[in-house]
């Protein structure tokens, strides 16, 4: 019985990451070192993209984006996440905003245009910002710019200090 408990506890805090078969060879296979390097590279690229997109939208637009993405699941294999984001935001405006549909709304159309023009990496930076917003919703102060990387850093514990 104690052995079963130990087995259950050993997986705590661990995860398994396997890239899709079609892009795995780019990393040299499924070795731990190359996968770790890929995660670290992606983190740097997403940090830069997060800084870029933070300035692209107003606080009201970020709030709308977060609401539209609140309970959505995104897969990295989606070929055009920006188009999916724009469709979700447009749908949220259509269903929940008391104005014309987003495609005809002067206030909403520029937002949808900007979102649909995001690069793959920028779209993922937006998704991850919205996911972060809902993960720390209870600890955010009114008016806090949760989409900005510096603000987001304040809400996460430091894993490693160098």
pLDDT digits (tens, 9 = 90+) for 30-81: 778 888 888 899 999 999 999 999 999 999 999 999 999 988 888 888 889 9
Residue 146 and residue 157: Cα distance in Å, rounded?
15
Residue 153 and residue 136: Cα distance in Å, rounded?
11
Whether pTM exceeds 0.95: no
Interior angle at CA 94, CA 100 and CA 127, nearest 5: 130
Tally of domains in the chain: 1
Could you tell me the pLDDT band of residue 15, with boundaries at 50, 70 and 90? low
The answer on pLDDT for 6 being more than 70 is: no
Per the domain annotation, does 9 fall within a domain? no
Residue 109 pLDDT: 56
Residue 23 and residue 81: Cα distance in Å, rounded?
18
Please give the residue that has the higher pLDDT: either 124 or 98.
124
Q: Tell me the residue ranges of DSSP E strands in the chain.
A: none
Q: How far, in Å, are 6, 16, 20 from residue 10 at the CA level? A: 6, 13, 26
Per the domain annotation, does 60 fall within a domain? yes
- Tokens 């447009």 belong to which residue? 90
Residue 88 and residue 131: Cα distance in Å, rounded?
14
Domain residue limits at 134:
16-154
- Average pLDDT taken over every residue of the chain: 80
Per the domain annotation, does 159 fall within a domain? no
Per the domain annotation, does 76 fall within a domain? yes
Per the domain annotation, does 80 fall within a domain? yes
Per the domain annotation, does 161 fall within a domain? no
């Amino acid at each position: 019985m104690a052995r079963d408990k130990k087995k259950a506890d050993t997986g705590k805090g661990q995860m398994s990451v396997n890239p899709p078969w079609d892009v795995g060879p780019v990393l040299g296979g499924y070795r731990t070192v190359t996968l770790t390097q890929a995660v670290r590279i992606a983190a740097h690229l997403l940090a830069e993209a997060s800084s870029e997109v933070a300035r692209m939208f107003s606080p009201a637009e970020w709030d709308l984006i977060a609401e539209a993405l609140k309970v959505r699941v995104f897969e990295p294999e989606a070929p055009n996440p920006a188009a999916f984001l724009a469709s979700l935001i447009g749908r949220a405006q259509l269903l929940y905003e008391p104005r014309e549909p987003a495609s005809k709304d002067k206030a909403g159309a520029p937002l949808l245009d900007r979102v649909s023009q995001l690069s793959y990496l920028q779209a993922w930076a937006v998704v991850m910002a919205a996911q972060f917003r809902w993960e720390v919703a209870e600890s955010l102060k009114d008016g806090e710019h949760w989409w900005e990387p510096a603000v987001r850093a304040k809400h996460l514990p430091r894993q490693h200090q160098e």
